[in-house]
Amino acid sequence: MGLKLPKVIGHRGACAYAPENTIESILTAADIGAEWVELDVMLTQDGVPIIFHDDTLDRTTNGSGNVAETPYATIRELEAGSWYADSFAGIKIPTLEEALEILIDKNLGLNLEIKPTPGRERETAESALDILSKYWDDHEHLLISSFQLSCLETAQDMAPDWYRGVLFDDDEDMPENLRDLFEYVDGATVNIGKKIVTRELVEDIIDFEKPVLVYTVNDAQLARQLQGWGVDAVFSDCPDVIAQNLLKVH
């Protein structure tokens, strides 16, 4: 048994076509043929895991303020689609449970990124993993990732047989002893931002004999270049376009 990664993973669903991290975005990803999606999970003030990316509500909802300071009863009433397009007006922020039900129904793999508020790293990971354990039993199609080492440690403690991805977005965050860190959390993948990806870095990670994933790639030429360097998968807002343009490897 191993991690069954596709070449392209839908970023926050398929957010070139629907509002990010919504049920509509997940359904769109399924409709256009994505095999996996990446979603973000964070906690409301009262500890409900929701699918949401930003620390604040302002960009993608008609609400404002910090997610971590807003109770779920308030968040569930917010509107999370019209910022994107009028045709999506009225849609809601999903809970992790609601998203999992759709993912399972549509047979989609999941990269769940744990995005904690500072100080709630372990709590966020524990809450998300607790719900995941009630719904998800397909280990080959689940990757838990985070920028926060303590979230990955929690995942390792609670669910050691689920695969973990280590996230990096900035050169300053890349430790000199990347292999040691990777082995410490028993990582399954290294997920790196496109702004720091180099051929040398990819080759260094390949030496670990682990998959390299790069986000967020919406340019077909870049995707093919990364594929040529040995990158195993890319995250994309338009996974259908990128998948159609990748080189066919037999």
Task: Tell me the C-alpha to C-alpha distance, in Å, between residue 60 and each of 49, 75, 114, 129, 157.
Answer: 17, 12, 19, 25, 33
Q: How is residue 230 written in tokens? A: 């040995």
Residue range 27-39: average pLDDT? 98
Query: Quick check: pTM over 0.85?
Result: yes
Give pLDDT, residue 2: 87
Of the candidates 169, 148, 146, 179, which has an alpha carbon nearest to the alpha carbon of residue 215? 169
| The predicted structure's pLDDT at residue 172 | 72
> Is 11 a residue of the active site?
yes
Average pLDDT over residues 151-155: 97
Residue 247 clears pLDDT 80, i.e. is over it: no
- From the list 240, 242, 190, 237, the residue with the least C-alpha distance to 216 is 237
What's the CA dihedral at 26, 32, 37, 38 to 10 degrees?
-80
Is a pLDDT exceeding 90 seen at residue 42?
yes
Distance CA 7, CA 223 (A): 10
- For 8, 24, 68, 83, 169, the CA distances from 47, given in Å and listed in that order, are 32, 24, 8, 26, 27
pLDDT, residue 1, reads 60
Containing 212, the helix (H) or strand (E) segment is strand 212-215
pLDDT of residue 61: 98
Q: Output the pLDDT for position 231.
A: 97
DSSP state of 113: E
pLDDT classification of 175: cutoffs 50, 70, 90: confident
Active site residue 141: no
Per-residue pLDDT tens digits for 64-107: 999 999 999 999 999 999 999 999 999 999 999 999 999 999 99
Which of 56-60, 112-116, 235-239, 245-249 has the weakest average pLDDT?
245-249
Condensed to tens digits (0 to 9), the pLDDT of residues 183-241 reads 999 999 999 999 999 999 999 999 988 899 999 999 999 999 999 999 999 999 999 99
What integer pLDDT is reported at residue 250 of this predicted model?
Answer: 42
Angstrom distance (rounded) from CA 85 to CA 146: 30
Superfamily the domain 8-245 falls into: Phosphatidylinositol (PI) phosphodiesterase (3.20.20.190)
pLDDT, one tens digit per residue, over 113-132 is 999 999 999 999 999 999 99
Rounded percentage of the chain residues whose pLDDT exceeds 70: 98
**How confident is the model at residue 176, as a pLDDT?**
81
**Which SS3 state, helix, strand or coil, does residue 70 take?**
coil
- Residue 156: in which H helix or E strand, if any? helix 149-158
Domain layout of the chain by residue ranges: 8-245
pLDDT, average across residues 145-150 = 96
Predicted confidence (pLDDT) at residue 249 exceeds the cutoff of 80: no
